[in-house]
């Protein structure tokens, strides 16, 4: 019997995008504090780097999303 990984892949993707959502919320909460904004942006770059090194589709999508958000909020 072949294993069905679609549910796990969906759960992995949702977890990765939850991290992106939390990072965006932290960035919003940091508004008005340049030092805190810079720290949150550095955290986002680190998270993006971690996801970029993984070789699964969920992590690759999260890395791409974070890269877009980092560029957008620059």
CA proximity to 57, closest of 19, 16, 18, 4: 16
Residue 2 confidence (pLDDT) above 60: no
Query: What pTM did the predictor assign?
Result: 0.84
What is the per-residue pLDDT for 9? Answer: 82
What is the per-residue pLDDT for 1? Answer: 47
Residue 24, both tokens:
């965006």
CA proximity to 26, closest of 47, 12, 11: 47
58 close to 9: Cβ distance less than 8 angstroms: yes
Q: Write out pLDDT tens, residues 16-58.
A: 999 999 999 999 999 999 999 999 999 999 999 999 999 888 8
- Count other Cβ atoms within 10 Å, centred on residue 63: 20
What is the per-residue pLDDT for 74? Answer: 67
Rounded to the nearest angstrom, the gap between the alpha carbon of residue 49 and the centroid of all alpha carbons in its chain is 9
């Amino acid at each position: 019997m072949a294993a069905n990984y679609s549910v796990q892949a969906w759960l992995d993707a949702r977890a990765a995008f939850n991290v992106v959502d939390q990072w965006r919320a932290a960035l919003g909460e940091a508004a008005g504090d340049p030092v805190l904004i810079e720290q949150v942006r550095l955290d986002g770059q680190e998270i993006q780097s971690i996801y970029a090194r993984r070789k699964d589709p969920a992590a690759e999508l999260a890395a791409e999303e974070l890269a877009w958000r980092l560029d957008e909020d620059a």
